[in-house]
Structure 1
């Protein structure tokens, strides 16, 4: 077989022996085109010989040539070889590989998954990841991210757009008890980092019926910054500074952003989750912005949260060692790991799940 451009090309006999029986390469104009990873795999098993300018290349010579011609060739080869040895039919594609379900192969059924290969050292911008997910979803394929680490071990992640507030709803019938909204909003005061609500009746309603805040004592409720703004926007609270100065919602938001530089992006997601019936609470103990409950019926028996969520900016880059740690922690406590970004009013939710191939 000869190297021609970005392919290793064989004749019609190669179509019969490699494509029709093993699903390798793609037939074109009576010949067979193999991508470099496919050719390297077949060469390593003595199934083909590869010529370059009339000279036959051994395996080391060929993979060095391929690595110079194709970015991250060695990583793609590691993943390709792993998938083949697990018994999958694998074809090269725009997203590195198409993988067929067990028992399927090219010409007999469609691929199930797209696999994209990445080094643990190379961050993935959110925009790039969404583009890859879109490409897979447009043809109804599962998108799998294969991350190759320092020691050439592979971790596979099922990555998908998770419309956490659209594909399923939260279970709370209302984001706050109707009785908490009185004829005149109740006064609450912003301290250094907390808002304190001293009206016992409203504090009890918000805490006991909708899991807002945390009780400071029998009469007072400590509220987070997102909770406070949300309740103020809905006319439940009226916010003040400690000196008695009334705070507009806009002024409060500005002050909250000085206290917490991530407040704005966190609040956008918090608000949407609340309005869809979820109960978002801080995810600090899990190293995330929020832990999110579908429904809290009673504080005597608080259920496990459904998922962990980080609010991210539209120019966010996934640094894979940190992302891996977050996913592993979420999976270890039986939760989903979701990242959410606000694209000018349109929210994108991306979910990662570690899987075994």
Structure 2
């Protein structure tokens, strides 16, 4: 039976990082974290995922006490009320085999790794507001970058359905 090594991560001022150089490249190859100052800094979503999958253990740098997933979610969600719901989409994409990174420009995540197509993912909450103008703008931006736009629609039961949006132009004569 193969045992998976649990990585040691540290919490310092709402930032999570790993500092074992030999482990950093393995995580970077799987699109985890951002390298800076000889450390690999993890996003909240990456941290939640690695802790939930028992691939990482997070210790408070000051107190040397291990932090639970619940504690991390509470601490890192201050001022970010949708962080857990967005994490559910992140986890679902990772579990489906995609490499996932946080994205900018109105998108929530960017996925790659399955096939050649890169996708920009935007989360839509059932019952939440989303305008056609916003969707058209996101679709045009993704298209300009040569990527597909995927809408991750998450309902009240946290079921997630994915839709790919394509922008087509029809011109009449």
**Common topology (TM > 0.5):** yes
**Which position in structure 2 is the counterpart of 1:116?**
122
Paired residues, what number? 160
Q: Which residue of 1 aligns with 2:28?
A: 19
1:296-315 correspondence to structure 2 within 5 Å? none
Of 141, 154, 168 in structure 2, the residue corresponding to residue 162 of structure 1 is: 168
Cross-structure match for 1:63 = 73
Query: Unmatched 5+ residue regions in structure 2?
Result: 1-8
Say which is worse superposed, 26-35 or 115-124, in terms of deviation: 26-35
TM-score by length of 1: 0.41
Q: Deviations for 1:131-168, whole angstroms, at most 9, x for unmatched residues?
A: 32233223111111101001111111112332122xxx
Take 2:159 and 2:86, find their aligned partners in 1: how far apart are those partners?
12
- Contact 1:6 1:35 survives alignment (8 Å): no
Per-residue CA deviation, residues 257-304 of structure 1 (Å, 9 max, x unaligned), is xxxxxxxxxxxxxxxxxxx14xxxxxxxxxxxxxxxxxxxxxxxxxxx
User: Residue 92 of structure 1: CA displacement?
Assistant: 1.6
User: Which of 87, 102, 112 pairs up with 1:100?
Assistant: 112
Greater fraction helix: 1
Question: Normalized against structure 2, the TM-score is what?
Answer: 0.79
Aligned to 1:147: 153
Q: Please, which runs of 5 or more residues in structure 1 have no aligned partner?
A: 105-110, 166-275, 278-357
- Which has more radius of gyration? 1
Distance (Å, rounded) in 2 between the aligned partners of 1:123 and 1:147: 12
Secondary structure at 1:155 match in 2 = strand
Shift, 1:8, TM fit: 1.9
- The answer as to 2:150 corresponding to 1:135 is no
